[in-house]
Amino acid sequence: MNFSLDTIPFGIFSVKNRRKKVATIIGNQVVDLAELAHLGYFDGLKIPKRVFTNDYLNDFISLGKAKTNAVRAELQKLLAQPNQLPESVFHEVTNVQLHLPVKIGDYTDFYSSEQHATNVGMMFRDPDKALLPNWKHLPVAYHGRASSIFVSGTNFHRPKGQLCPDESQPPFFSPTKRLDIELEMATVIGKANSIGQAIDVDQAEEYIFGFQLFNDWSARDIQKWEYVPLGPFLAKNFFSSVSPWVIPIEALAPFQVTGEKQTPEVLPYLQEKNRHFFDVELEVILQTASGNEVKLCHSNFKNLYWTVAQQIAHHTVNGCNLNVGDLLASGTISGKEPTSFGSLLELTWGGKKPILLPDGAERRFLEDFDTIIIRGYAEKEGVRVDFGEVRNTVLPAV
Amino acid sequence: MNFSLDTIPFGIFSVKNRRKKVATIIGNQVVDLAELAHLGYFDGLKIPKRVFTNDYLNDFISLGKAKTNAVRAELQKLLAQPNQLPESVFHEVTNVQLHLPVKIGDYTDFYSSEQHATNVGMMFRDPDKALLPNWKHLPVAYHGRASSIFVSGTNFHRPKGQLCPDESQPPFFSPTKRLDIELEMATVIGKANSIGQAIDVDQAEEYIFGFQLFNDWSARDIQKWEYVPLGPFLAKNFFSSVSPWVIPIEALAPFQVTGEKQTPEVLPYLQEKNRHFFDVELEVILQTASGNEVKLCHSNFKNLYWTVAQQIAHHTVNGCNLNVGDLLASGTISGKEPTSFGSLLELTWGGKKPILLPDGAERRFLEDFDTIIIRGYAEKEGVRVDFGEVRNTVLPAV
């Protein structure tokens, strides 16, 4: 990883036994913003210094875009000449601990990739009617668990639960046999709306602070037995993971790509004047305990049918209130090519087409001690924005 | 309302322009615990006074049961002789504002009444197979929205959204025409478990601080169009409401009633040594703008198939972590008698059997300016525990 001056993300770090602070990163150098503030570098911006000496970014984000973008612009100016800054503000990334950057209030998971929804529908329902009737009319979503979202580097134990592969037999209790990943992006909400006040789709991006890589770990066998009629629960809430750096939406301005017209036409509250996605390359890598490394897929944040602005407009059209720090995940981002499918469920087509590893081993779903790494970056005409990675290892069931 | 010495619940109050503090209530007198602490009444208990001068109960609850029960016992002793306390600690309940008592982290809604699940299954699926195959094997649940849970007395606007009553036609945008209530109880989590650590069903009640009345407001027409395959979303997250006083689980010790044996036998992690429910009478009252008042139903917290202990054991069996202040709602509590059904959906059987009001008007679902009041109490051999009420009025769509 080599974070550029075009990125300037925000995160939370600590050095051993010291308290958490707000940071950015340039190259592989974590930059201590509390120290910069203490030294007076942000004095012109009239920002309370306490927002930088903080366990989470929420207070910083709550300053609003005018302030946070001013900090980002100041950092771009300062970090263009890093030699003029005191050494005390820099830390090798390998010498610090990176923490969950945002205190997440509510977490919502969307289901916004047409190819993903089609793949799942083909496997589990009628292949001729893979998309459900509501899918092209509204961005389907459900509420997820915020407490079990952890930062990259946190490992977790294979979850246990009820499985019932043959419903003519009673269910049994077991560690999941179908542990999967979902390649997603998470949107960090940067501004609250009041209860009862819908957010206009054309103003929705003002409510976005930025984005992170997101892995929506899933236990497919637990999911199959539990999810009708109220949706996924224990199949998802055992663990989710995010990358440590939040990339401000402003960094992605050069990477907007126009979205195709939607057919059928959506209802007016979902119609956008400037419909766009973000061209961010995404890849998923599997590392096994025996040293195999294989790229599972290569997708892109633009492989969605519903924009983040539409997700926000839909989420609030009934008056639901979003808060600073809420997380909206995109749902699995699968492109049209089979090599761009964002889950093992799709890549192995429900376990029927195993992935061959370099040493001859196979994977249908994940084994203990497998590590999954999601990486992301945007690059165009000399501008490069890095998302870093989210990396976690599966430990055996407790 | 006339809260007894057997109740001694906890809540958050403020008097005009003053800060929020922790309180209890006796009769109709709100008791200022911050003032009692300030005056030294809790000095023997070695509790930091700041937990009482607080916007939420979470810090108080986090002290743990040994401390919070000691405060409750001290209050029962002090309030047995209220004349010996200074007047400054008492406020008429009509002179104060009561606030959301707990900062809710994650909110989960269960679906634990057999009669409710059967009624819904009969209306929407196959009457001969009303319960889905998983229902008697696990306490079905889904994650809900924490941000839109408000305290009794808060009113809200009728939500708008996509409706599609006839799926051969496209959906349209409208205020909901099928606004409903759900009579529920909410469990306030009082102790956290670590990620990866399941809670044993026989120890689960140690993780319960107490209970509140809960109204899970629902838009049935929005729900019908959106909920397959990932569950309810905008049909629920526009507004939910809780009563202002949290009743500690210890107050309900005299009201434990043994639960029937479950058939089929549940998996070992759900088998309880001392399986019990709580005998708490619940009623729902409708008041209309024109002055009608009618009791919609009379149910009981014991009308459940899954105990709260089983809900907690199931929720964490995959390692999911609960935090202090998380809320677990029971799902609609419907008994076997039609007069005990806990939603208009069931009471009017999907709108087919309207409720006749005293002035000859009818209700299938709620009209603007209708007020719903849920009340609860437990009474036995001279011991009475009051839950107070949760009361909200439907305002017209914005």
Residues in A 216-255 with any Cβ partner in B closer than 8 A = 219, 222, 225-234, 237-239
Angstrom CA distances, A349 to A115, A180, A236, A345, B276, stand at: 13, 12, 20, 6, 45
CA–CA dist B78, A331 (Å, integer): 55
For each of chain B's 398 residues, which pLDDT tens digit applies?
A: 689 999 999 999 999 999 999 999 999 999 999 999 999 999 999 999 999 999 999 999 999 999 999 999 999 999 999 999 999 999 999 999 999 999 999 999 999 999 999 999 999 888 999 999 999 999 999 999 999 999 999 999 999 999 999 999 999 999 999 999 999 999 999 999 999 999 999 999 999 999 999 999 999 999 999 999 999 999 999 999 999 999 999 999 999 999 999 999 999 999 999 999 999 999 999 999 999 999 999 999 999 999 999 999 999 999 999 999 999 999 999 999 999 999 999 999 999 999 999 999 999 999 999 999 999 999 999 999 999 999 999 999 99
- Give the one of B146, B159, B196 whose C-beta lies nearest to A398's C-beta: B196
Low-confidence residues in chain A, pLDDT < 50: none
A226/B105 CB distance under 8 A: no
Binding-site annotation, residues of A for Mg(2+): 216, 236, 240
Q: Which of residues 327-366 of B touch A (CB under 8 A)?
A: none
Burial class, A154, CB count within 10 angstroms (exposed 0-12 / middle 13-18 / buried 19+): middle
From the list B309, B245, B250, B246, the residue with the least C-alpha distance to B277 is: B309
If we measure between CA atoms, which residue out of A177, A178, A174, A179 comes closest to residue A155?
A179
> Which positions in chain A touch B239 (Cβ < 8 Å)?
195, 319
Select from B141, B226, B238 the Cβ nearest to the Cβ of A320: B238
Contact at CB, B145 and A320, closer than 8 angstroms:
yes
Q: How far is CA B221 from CA A115, A158, B164, B254, in A?
A: 28, 38, 8, 41
- CA A66 to chain CA mean position, Å: 24
Interface of B with A in 43-102 (CB under 8 A): none
List the single residue in B137, B147, B173 with the smallest CB-CB distance to A269.
B173
CB contact under 8 A, A231 and B234: no
Contact B314, B138 (CB under 8 A): yes
d(CA A101, CA A248) in angstroms, rounded, equals: 13
Q: How far is CA A109 from each of CA A86, A325, B161, B329, B354, rounded to the nearest angstrom?
A: 42, 14, 19, 21, 37
Q: Give the CATH number of domain A11-99.
A: 2.30.30.230
CATH value of B107-395 in 3.30.750.24, 3.90.850.10, 1.20.120.80, 3.30.300.30? 3.90.850.10
So what's the pLDDT on residue A124?
Answer: 85
pLDDT at res. A1: 64
Alpha-carbon gap, residue B244 to B375, rounded angstroms: 12
Q: Do A234 and B159 touch (CB under 8 A)?
A: no
Name the amino acid, one letter, at B257.
V
Domain ranges of chain A: 11-99, 107-395
Candidate list B116, B157, B276, B298, residue with the active-site label: B116
A315: contact with B, CB 8 A cutoff: yes
Q: Strands across the sheet with A383-395, in order?
A: A156-157, A383-395, A371-380, A281-287, A293-300
The answer to whether B182 is a known ligand-binding residue is: yes
**Reduced to 3 states, what is the DSSP secondary structure of residue B277?**
strand
Q: Is the peptide bond before A229 cis (omega within 30 degrees of 0)?
A: yes
Catalytic center residues of A: 116
User: What is the rounded distance in angstroms from the CA atom of residue B370 to the CA atom of residue A203?
Assistant: 33
State the nearest Cα–Cα gap between A118 and chain B, in angstroms.
13
Check residue A46 and give left, alpha or beta (phi > 0: left; psi -120 to 50: alpha): left
Cis peptide bond upstream of B229, omega within 30: yes
∠ CA A323-A248-A314, rounded to 5°: 45
Strand duo B149-151 + B240-242: pairing: parallel
Predicted local confidence at residue B124, as pLDDT: 85
Please indicate if the annotation marks B55 as binding a ligand: no
Q: What span, in angstroms and rounded, lies between the C-alpha atoms of B178 and A311?
A: 24
Which distant-in-sequence residues (6+ apart) come within 8 Å of A353 by Cβ?
Answer: A347
User: pTM for this structure?
Assistant: 0.98
Inter-chain contact B226–A159, Cβ cutoff 8 Å? no
List the 125-144 stretch of B: residues with Cβ below 8 A of A: 132-134, 137-138, 140-144
Q: Which class for B33: exposed (0-12), middle (13-18), buried (19 or more C-beta within 10 A)?
A: buried
State both tokens at A301. Answer: 């944040």
Chain A residues with CB inside 8 Å of B138's CB?
162, 171, 225-226
Q: Find, among A245, A244, A227, the residue nearest to A236 by Cα.
A: A227
Cβ contacts (< 8 Å) between B156 and chain A: which residues?
Answer: 195-196, 319
Q: Do A145 and B105 touch (CB under 8 A)?
A: no
* Sign for the pseudo-dihedral over CA of B379, B384, B387, B391: positive
